[in-house]
Amino acid sequence: MEPRQIIESIKAERPEIRTLYFVGCGASSSELYPAEYFMNANAKVLRTGFYTANEFNYATPVACDESAIVIACSLGGNTPETVAAARLAREKGAKVIAITHNASSPLAANADYAIVHGFEKNYAAKLEKMNNVLMLAVEVLNQYEGYDHYEDMVAGYNNIYDAIENAVSFVTPSARAFADAYKDAPVIYVMSSGATAKVAYSFSICLLMEMQWINSGSFHDGEFFHGPFEIVDKDVPFLLFMNEGRTRAMDSRALDFLNRFDAKTTVVDAKDYGLSNYVPASVAEYFSPMLITGVVRVYAEQLAIVRNHPLSQRRYMWKLEY
Amino acid sequence: MEPRQIIESIKAERPEIRTLYFVGCGASSSELYPAEYFMNANAKVLRTGFYTANEFNYATPVACDESAIVIACSLGGNTPETVAAARLAREKGAKVIAITHNASSPLAANADYAIVHGFEKNYAAKLEKMNNVLMLAVEVLNQYEGYDHYEDMVAGYNNIYDAIENAVSFVTPSARAFADAYKDAPVIYVMSSGATAKVAYSFSICLLMEMQWINSGSFHDGEFFHGPFEIVDKDVPFLLFMNEGRTRAMDSRALDFLNRFDAKTTVVDAKDYGLSNYVPASVAEYFSPMLITGVVRVYAEQLAIVRNHPLSQRRYMWKLEY
């Protein structure tokens, strides 16, 4: 089912929804974040909760009941914590929507609705998760309390895939330059703001720490000047993801500082790839994380090639019980 | 004014409050988090928003209006972003409560109410901020929708200072051992869960990166197995903050893994310092971050001594315009 139909179906049965929960782990958690950011920015009455799945399981919020919708995300649909959260949420009466690549997964089986997304086909397909979660949030907001830029969001939802494929067609040389320059970095910091804040997080914990065993830290660039910037020195490696949208001024301020003190800085900027040629300016900030996620996937792939360390290589994951 | 009186005063004027915003930067942001965690866990109707101050300024949520209370925190009360956020929130009709050490600060001047807290006197005084923010949230919840463990929270609010002073009286030898062992670490990871999640964050970005120029990353330990744990190897340095409360199982699971692969692990555990002798078990999880913050301040001080790098030393902060 499409996001619109799912929320219409829920609303027909439950006209009084109060809370939208986002539940996932690791990269799947970060892919829920643009929707959380969108809701926090635009909802006047609807509430949200954003949980790593086991925190939802161990410290379940009291408001998870018949008045809640839970959006649970797992690529393979097998993440045990997320499957448990979906099951728990349904026991408590919430409506559960699974977002997964695997229609026959335990996550899909423990949900009221499932959106099965692509992944392998191209870079754009890898963003179907994030885009559909965002659209679910847009539908919840629009159907339950109304939202002025609904048509713009629909246009963005439809056009963002072309924006991503266009961007990645240009990116290999700069991705290769990044890989050559950072391949021996002792640590790499990643930062961004707004809807893209958790793309910095997932690049740090998944693509660098998990898939390349490179030391890394990440933070919101609005926080940069309240602690982390004291680590800056000549040649300290930073990756900065710049948004098209209202929080761009924070990204720019961080860039100024990095340049001023000769940090080793790589910028990935949604504006460089013409996001606003594809997505209305009024809502571009919510699609910046999708464009940037597509682009930095190529950066990670080039890093893997230069370092002779495939992105699929693990020490523990998939190998051990833990 | 006391938290109870402040919220009584607001409620008398505004019986229909819907959203509680927490706004700050860096350490002050992290000190708002136990209250945010408490609200997310226990509120059925009231909403929250948790913002680094400039994101609040640049992408101001539409629900910041007469139906909102904004709690804004800054130690010196001079943080420009937080002062701007307080001013903006009042312009939009919200009630603003400042939490600051400086009664004559711009933050206090731009708020409807101010709680002026201690800091220098002892370790407990440094937690007056976090404790008062939590109590404001408890009062909002109890007065606007009711809360079953209100009396337990009041007991915790009153007793946590003794728990902190008791804990720090024991801690110097283990703090010194940590400092000796980690003083040359190329990177230190910090993690926790539940109400303590942002203590890990602030220890990482403020005490390590800002005040000691040590590379660091932090994450929720519920996320550890979904990315970061692949960085674990013999002697990789980790600091794990363990809660007394519902999320402890996540902390324990992370500890098991760190021990199994001989990571260089230091545990700071609220249970070791007898938190539940001071705070009712029903609410101990919300006070774990205060006890742990008190204890790890001593850890940071010992690190500063062993490294001959005072916690007050900066390269950029207080020295430059940026």
pLDDT digits (tens, 9 = 90+) for A209-222: 999 999 999 999 99
pLDDT at residue A273, rounded to an integer:
96
Q: Are residues B23 and B117 part of one domain? A: yes
Residue B272 — very low, low, confident or very high, per pLDDT cuts 50/70/90?
very high
> A132, A147, A162 — which closes off a domain?
A147
Q: Specify if B152 maps to a domain.
A: no
- Let me know whether B110 and B220 are in one domain: no
Residue B72 lies in a domain: yes
A to B CB pairs, distance under 8 Å: 202
d(C-alpha A107, C-alpha A3), whole Å: 17
* Binary contact (A59, B247; C-beta < 8 A): yes
Could you report the per-residue pLDDT of A240-250, keeping only the tens digit for each? 999 999 999 99
A100 and A23 in one domain? yes
Give the one of B79, B205, B232 whose C-beta lies nearest to A228's C-beta.
Answer: B205
Give residue B21's domain range: 3-147
Which of B226, B249, B316 is the closest to A230 by Cβ? Answer: B316
> Considering its fold, how many domains does chain B have in total?
2
Q: Which residues are paired to A237 by β-bridges?
A: A264
Q: Cα separations (Å) of B283 from B39, B102, B156, B157, B163?
A: 13, 30, 8, 10, 14
Quick one: pLDDT band at residue B82, thresholds 50, 70, 90?
very high
* Mean pLDDT estimate for chain A: 98
Q: Do B316 and A187 touch (CB under 8 A)?
A: no
Confidence (pLDDT) at B31: 98
Q: Is residue B313 part of a domain?
A: no
Per CB-CB distance under 8 Å, the chain B contacts of A54 are: 222, 249-250
Residue A237 sits in the same domain as residue A283:
yes
Mutate to test the interface with A, among B30, B198, B226 (most CBs of A within 10 A): B226
- Is the same domain home to A129 and A182? no
Q: What is the pLDDT of residue A191?
A: 98
Asked if the structure places residue B279 within a domain, the reply is yes
Quick one: average pLDDT of B241-258?
Answer: 98
Which residue among B84, B115, B147 closes a domain? B147
A12 belongs to a structural domain: yes
Does residue B19 form part of some domain?
Answer: yes
Q: Of A113, A147, A181, which residue constitutes the final position of a domain?
A: A147
| CATH code of the domain in which A213 resides | 3.40.50.12570
End-to-end CA distance of chain B: 35
ipTM: 0.97
Tell me the pLDDT band of B132, cut-offs 50, 70 and 90: very high
Residue B57 belongs to some domain of the structure: yes
Q: Can you give the CATH number for the domain in which B63 is found?
A: 3.40.50.10490
Exposed / middle / buried, residue B12 (Cβ in 10 Å: 0-12, 13-18, 19+): exposed
- pLDDT confidence tier of residue B35, bands split at 50, 70 and 90: very high
pLDDT (0 to 100) of residue B160: 98
Q: Give yes or no: residues A140 and A22 share one domain.
A: yes
Identify the band that residue A49 occupies on the pLDDT scale cut at 50, 70 and 90: very high
Regarding whether A207 and A85 lie in a shared domain, the answer is no
Indicate whether this model's pTM tops 0.95: yes
Whether residues B136 and B174 share a domain: the answer is no
Whether A142 and A209 map to the same domain: the answer is no
Residues B245 and B119 both lie in one domain: no
Same-domain status, B248 and B129:
no
B169 and B292 in a common domain:
yes
Half-sphere exposure of A270 (CA within 13 A, CB side): 34
Note whether residue A168 is domain-resident.
no
Q: Which residue of A has its CA nearest to B253?
A: A322
